Chain A
Amino acid sequence: MGKTVLILLSIWLFIAAVPNGPKPAPKAAYRVETIPMPDGLSAETGAIEFLPDGRLVASFHRGEVMIYNPKNRQWSLFAEGLHEPLGILVVSNSELIIMQRPELTRVKDRDGDGKADLYEKVTDAFGISGNYHEFNYGPIRDKDGNLFIGLNTASPNGGVRSEVRGLRDTVGTDHPKQMFSPVPYRGWIMKLTADNKLVPYASGFRSPNGLAFDAKGRLLVADNQGDWVGTSPLFHVQEGRFYGHPGSLVWNENWRGGNPFTMPLPELETMRTKAAVLFPHGIMANSITQPVLDKTGGKFGPFAGQLLIGEMNQERIVRVMLEEVDGQLQGACIPFLDGQGLRKGNNRLAFAPDGSLWTGQNDHGWAGAQGIQRIVFTGKPPMDVYTMNLTPTGFELTFTQPVDPAAATQPDNYKFRHYRYEYHKTYGSPQFDVQAVPVKTVTISKDRRKVTLTLDELKPGLIYELTLGEIRAANGEPLANKLICYTLNKLKR
């Protein structure tokens, strides 16, 4: 482009990605590889997605949007100067819709030189106060062409600029320890209709860093532990509902006025919709991020149709299995991958056309890491819990491989306890009602893939945490993950 000069544009990197296992039979089902990053890039990854041609597009906090060609390992610059781009929706090889701090922007390369030359506003019909915590997430597109974005609340550790964009609320701001919503529609999930109207869709979010659709097109949104959020949740988000953080309520069109933080707790409790899945803090995850649906049809192993979700604080990606019980989504979470070379800071996940899972890492002042890694299914079947389903009297576990019945039929190998987290304004929550739940009976299916457990008692409103013992596959392989947590909102009749 003209005389000017972007010195690098492409960098040839000699460093091969780092495989964990040599060619002979893989030891593990998954292998973690590290993607070489361009020299001089602060690789705080805000978003990753794949272009139709198979190249990766990634955005970073300092405003760069870069494209990586996995075939020749070259990086090139596509766009620059964006304000904290945290989400990308791919339109074509030359056109992206990017969520940045001040707006949702269509970024387009019109002349085919590989660099964007048009930055077109898609919408900026939401407020920004300048508070550092007002991150914006998404967009994701439903089958009807609507886009969904998430607007983080403002942090009490930051302020509000004297000049803001949007109306300014000062009533709900007067509460020093709470995340708040100084301008519309902080703390909301917004829907951008096909005719380009941005409408408030659901409220009550604190830090909704991760939107996705499940296999049935249901909108799922992750939130982060903090005030009013006892432990990190994954919500099934439906239009008009409220998901618990009161800050956003000041922008409800039927808002009665006053400070939502002073509302009586029972009233808030009846208004809110509970999480489909809770991720016990410090146990499963501290700060969950982007969910992604495994649509690889087996290229990534046996978990097609389930969700994987990133975790910031630990070297972990979590797997989520959902089911509908009594008309509501609920389900279980289990570590998917721990360590094995995986870093912390797993902020964004995306599947490549070849079925490998890429993870964009970020820290930006929080616990985390920087860079991009990819996780490859080696073809060796994992030994893991495939699904955990509620029954009227307990749970049914399905394993990815037939189990050795000797250990799998021992009740001692299934240690349950239940607990819950409080819904309150205090930051986080201790566990309440912590209690071991004895397993009464264990039965195993003929094909030795299913184990049915009956428990002493099942109570709604609790997390059932299961720690598995020395259960092995029929071929002797140990379980990859032994901790699994089921969020029981509704009993199965």
Chain B
Amino acid sequence: MLALLLVFVIAGGARAAVDSTVTVALKAIHGLQFDVVRFRVKPGATVRITLDNTDDMAHNLVITQPGKREEVVNAALQLGEKGPAVNYIPKSAAILWAIPVVVPEETGTLSFTAPKETGVYPYVCTFPGHGFVMYGAMYVTDGVLPPLKEDKAVPETRRTAETTAQAGHAQHAPQRFHPYQPEPPFLYRIFMPDASPAAIAVSLPHDVSYCWDAGTCRLRYAWEGGFLDQTKLWPGKGDTEAKLVGTVFFRDKTAYPIQIGADKQTPAVDFKGYQLIDRYPEFHYTVDGVDVYERIQAKGDASGLVRTFKIPKAEKTILFITEPTDGMVYQSSGGRWEAGRLKLSPAEARQFTITMTKKAD
């Protein structure tokens, strides 16, 4: 492997009166971006730049003369088959310094003496396709930087102030994530907290939501007061999961809530899919080979859930098991409750509802 991590030290013609070295630590991050999109150095300063590639593709870094970023990016594109051999860095008088290609998880370094001429010196990744979005600006100045919002030297998407969580921000017009505005009930298959990776998040009317897990074939939890923080939903690269908005009022703490026949503890389950009935999903799964259908609605006063089960081919007694400390009061359309367990005859199990109401505090 070639030594990709060359240190380019370019001694400027004139010796600048420098104080100590300024170190700028840059990272190449996912989404074709540098984590830092601008920084300031004094004219003639000794500068050391490190480029830590935390992305999963290779990048380089080229510093150009003021106003020459696009020219250099286009020249890099023109390299064609000669690109790899020169680290996608074209021969150009507009290029001042460069860090050759840095592969993921490696770090490249560059040291140089900043120009004496003040100005905005672009830095950019000239990898084919990257250069039009992946860039930033080195300000060589003794003065102050323009407001970030108006800084044309940084990518438009990065001209917002450091976006720290604006959780308390009042809801203005709801942000649209689709070409339509979903109205509950609707669902997303999405990575959810406290569930297997095959989770389904369902938004019900009355601001009630639940997480049903297709990996384990069960209702995992339900919450009230909102649905999901959409901005966390589809970020592109990087691990993520949806964030709940509201308060969880129920978590299933049983080993498994449905039991077919006698007293086997952990049944074998298999997810089969769902159909939409008035837009409500009715989940279909098997428990020890027996077909179960389950549809979940919100109680009209948002105080809990109504779960409609169908086990049309039940041949044995069906048990529905609850956990006394789960904060819910259970009622059923049929069967007999015994110590938190609902016993249903095969006939009763063909269709039954379980109403779960939050206990009054």
Contact = CB atoms under 8 A, between A and B. Distances in A.
User: Which of B31, B80, B189 has the most chain A CB atoms inside 10 A of its CB?
Assistant: B189
B80 to A, nearest CB: 6
Interface residues of A, number: 83
Nearest to A421: B84
Nearest to B285: A121
A61 to B, nearest CB: 6
A367 B127 CA distance: 10
Interface string A277-299: 00011110010000000000000
A80 B178 contact: yes
Given A61-B234, A118-B273, A282-B88, 5 more contacts: A4-B183, A105-B273, A164-B196, A364-B236, A426-B1
B178 to A, nearest CB: 6
Interface stretch (B50-58, B67-75, B301-309, B338-346): B50-58
A283 B86 CA distance: 12
A25 interface: no
Interface stretch (B35-43, B141-149, B152-160, B275-283): B275-283
Nearest to B235: A365
A440 B238 CA distance: 52
Contact of A62 (B2, B88, B234, B276): B234
A5 interface: yes
19 contacts: A5-B181, A6-B181, A11-B179, A40-B176, A40-B177, A41-B178, A62-B233, A80-B182, A81-B186, A119-B273, A128-B197, A130-B239, A157-B30, A283-B83, A364-B236, A365-B238, A366-B57, A367-B57, A426-B1
User: Which of B58, B235, B271 has the most chain A CB atoms inside 10 A of its CB?
Assistant: B58
B129 interface: yes
B188 interface: yes
A413 B19 CA distance: 56
Given A102-B198, A177-B105, A281-B84, A120 B272 contact: yes
Interface in B273-328: 273-276, 278-279, 281
Contacts of A155: 56
B104 interface: yes
Given A431-B84, A434-B85, A63 B189 contact: yes
Given A83-B190, A102-B215, A434-B85, A157 B238 contact: yes
B331 interface: no
A365 B279 contact: no
Contacts of A33: none
Contact of B214 (A117, A124, A159, A364): A124
Contacts of B188: 63, 81, 83
User: Which of A118, A119, A344 has the most chain B CB atoms inside 10 A of its CB?
Assistant: A119
B32 A42 contact: no
Nearest to A434: B85
Given A157-B56, A157-B104, A282 B238 contact: no
A9 to B, nearest CB: 7
A131 B56 CA distance: 14
A170 to B, nearest CB: 17
Contacts of A313: 127-130
Given A124-B271, A130-B197, A64 B179 contact: yes
A426 to B, nearest CB: 6
A281 B82 CA distance: 11
Contacts of A165: 196-198, 215
Interface string A157-198: 111010111000000000011000000000000000000000
B247 interface: no
B20 to A, nearest CB: 34
B24 interface: no
B237 interface: yes
Closest 5 CB pairs of A and B: A365-B236, A365-B237, A313-B129, A83-B189, A38-B179
A381 interface: no
B16 interface: no
A117 B56 contact: no
A40 B272 contact: no
A384 interface: no
Interface string A1-13: 1101111110100
Contacts of A133: 56
Contacts of A6: 180-183
Contact of B83 (A164, A282, A364): A282
Contacts of B200: 81
A257 interface: no
A56 to B, nearest CB: 15
A182 to B, nearest CB: 11
Contacts of B22: none
Contacts of A163: 195-197, 215
B214 A103 contact: yes
